[in-house]
Structure 1
Amino acid sequence: MSEALESEALESTTAEPAPGVVIPLIGLGTWPMTGGEATDAVARAIANGYRHIDTAENYGNEEAVGEGIRRSGIARGDLFLTTKFNSQWHGRTGVREAFGAATRRLGTEYLDLFLVHWPNPSKGRFVEAAEELLELAGEGLIRCWGVSNFKPAHLRELQAAGLETPLNQVQIDPETQQPEQLAFHREHGILTAAYSPLGRSGGFLSDPAVTGPAGAHGKTPAQVVLRWQVQSGRVAIPKSADGRRQRENLDVFGFALTEAEMAGIDALDTGAPPRLDSDQFGH
């Protein structure tokens, strides 16, 4: 990697899904934590330096996340807060109701990012949901809108309605890289947010393509994978309630992987699809 590229990689800790909207590249995932565990994890994460928290209606923890934010004492304007809504709210008026319910549960007046959690294409209403999200953004109730688990075919339906999607949150890890999905995002300027960025089984964390760079840079395998995510230009949302791991997950901006190291992790892709098929699954 050239000196200029390495410097740029080291300095990049945020992305801009929409003009004037800055999102930290590392966020705290909160599924499947609920209750006191979620509250404690959020408060601990903020104390450890997190400024991006990710939740959803379907996680059943928005109240607990909101309590963790309040307990932290952080100013609302210093935090980037993302949540997602279910398919029952898809349509012309439902999204506004979903917004009101989410903000009441979280204890906030606005959202930084509000996402359609699943497209649920059989219901045929996600385009209307996105149109209403755009209205909420225009009114300043949300700073940015986006979607989650949308395939290119779903994104094309939004485009056909004149909607350019700022961000799509999808499952991405070294073994499930979805190259066609990522290529579509790059072509159309859609920011990718990776959920389950460290996978679920974590088997690839012991692969030499990961352990080699970990040894070379004095980092953990998980830090190397998160570095691969953000250095690829993606937001990553790892879940952790442990204070030490939270600090480690944030500590991925003081080093850069070489082109060969990046290529080595890229080569771990198995071609496996996401765990859940968004044409069939949704809530």
Structure 2
Amino acid sequence: MRRGPSLVRTRRAGAVPALVLAFCVLAGTSKIATREPVAPVAQPPPAPTTPAPTPRPTPTVDRILPAAAAPDDLPVISYLHVPRGFPADPDQASEAHLPEGLHPAHQLAVYDAPGGRPRAFLAPTIRGVTVIVPIVAKRPGWSAVLLPSVNRRIGWLPDGGWHAKTLRDHLIVRRGDRTLTWLRDGVRQKTWTVAIGADRTPTPLGRTFVLGRTGTHGSVYAGLDALVLGAVPDDRDAVAPGLRGAHTGIHAWYRSSVFGRNVSNGCVRMPRDAQRTLLAQLDPGTPITVRD
């Protein structure tokens, strides 16, 4: 993982042919001992035949909706700002493994829906940090991703112009238990007791991701880098003035007495050895789910 100036990255089923069933009635003859005439045996009416189903048009959901041209003056998602109009993440509490992310090869327009309105550009880097965003849903010709610098919002990108990235890891923060669990390929690796945001500055709920890493200053961080997340404080005015332009993060803490408590400005504080493990193992784009 690289280090930036202030942080480091982030059949359709075929128609089933109708089977026309036919059956034959085999009429036999019987010898009758009497000379009386024998009434003919009534034959059942022929079974009705079922007409073959009429082919139906392809449902709209199977169509690839075209992407409208994006205006050149569309705003660019930055470290501090994401334009309005993006939809909420419909599965923001999901703990499902997200196995794939994407990295824009160049500046790409992000839409509010497949075939919808372009709202902003997503650049390949933010403040020099490589951007990798987790893919949370797919539609024909489109992929939905978690957005950086905003909480619990997704955007849609048409296929093309980006590179797929494999994501093996996932972090789950449980605010009620004050724990952080690291999973790889859906299998739990470690669980640690951590410190989370105070009541006035809670760790934001929902899905986000590792945007990158940044250096820290002061012995309180145990001399280790911090992981910067895509999430931001839900209430910027509630945090200290010097942190209002910052993202939430995961970092080490020098005092073990804080673990298991709600004491931070929204960041997750980890034991020193736990932070070393995450820094060594996690790649940019790693998804994180924060839930109660």
Q: TM-score, normalised by structure 1?
A: 0.28
The structure number with the bigger radius of gyration is 2
Which structure shows the higher helix fraction? 1
Q: TM-score, normalised by structure 2?
A: 0.28
